[in-house]
Structure 1
């Protein structure tokens, strides 16, 4: 199930509040790395261990009707290679949703495969980053969040 470093998702983004990021990765270690990098960059982070859990959290799972009123996610970061649903498949589901399509999605991978990178960027990814993520990546992600909310 999704876990969160905060108690309740905020209803509206306010620059006095921390941006809310959903981090999706099947590796607990990688989820913790993303969480630490972004919390250190003053972000609030919720984690999910796979694409199915992320879709459930977002209200986009099969049979769910998305409601954006009680959930505000400013960015989604997803691993590309996950069992069950790839990061690209998750990206496609998010971009097909009328209520979620404007949320920037960043795809991360330990494999530098140009066709995979191009596929994700053409599919609507905001960014494609290579693992392991660095502190400079966290700064870049924070800039994307600020641009979106200006």
Structure 2
């Protein structure tokens, strides 16, 4: 099998497992999205990175909400314009973390004029309806149960606008 046909089969496999359509994959490949994954667990970060690296995403992982805010604020100017170096298209954050929960990170992002347009998806291994409702009311795009699966990729990516 040639390398080109092998790459095409890999691409078709990613589309099939994620539920993404041909035009979505083409747009993503032309303009990779930057996903900021926030999880205090090194295993959790590795799993997210592995899942998303099967797609044309640039993934940055950090171990806390505080570090996520530092990265986000470093990349955004006071006037709300963004720096190409850390232009984040989606924040995927764990709910349960020490110091700052995913909910606290969500609130800080949505309160910031420079950051509020970045979609935030919360994930947790605990299915607690009041927690889910609270996050959704605060502005989360979605709440996913861990572990994330390949089909969750298309679910979270529908919230992202591709850069033009």
Equivalent residue for 1:46, pick from 49, 60, 67: 60
More helix by share: 2
CA distance in 2 between partners of 1:41 and 1:139 (Å):
11
Q: Contact between 2:92 and 2:122, CA under 8 Å: does it hold in 1?
A: yes
Aligned to 1:95: 110
Q: Secondary structure at the match of 1:44?
A: strand
1:72 equivalent in alignment to 2:83: no
Matches of 1:126 and 1:77, distance apart in 2: 10
Q: How does the TM-score come out when normalised to structure 2?
A: 0.75
Q: Which runs of 5+ in 1 are unaligned?
A: 1-13
SS at match of 1:144: coil
Residue pair 1:20, 1:74 contacting (<8 A) in 2 also: yes
How far residue 142 of structure 1 moved from its aligned partner, in angstroms, is 2.5
Match of 1:132 among 127, 147, 150: 147
Q: TM-score, normalised by structure 1?
A: 0.81
Structure showing greater Rg: 2
CA RMSD of aligned residues (A): 1.9
Return the offset for 1:67.
5.6
**CA distance in 2: counterparts of 1:99 and 1:141, whole angstroms:** 22
Aligned residues: 132
Decide whether the 8 Å contact of 2:32 with 2:56 is kept in 1: yes
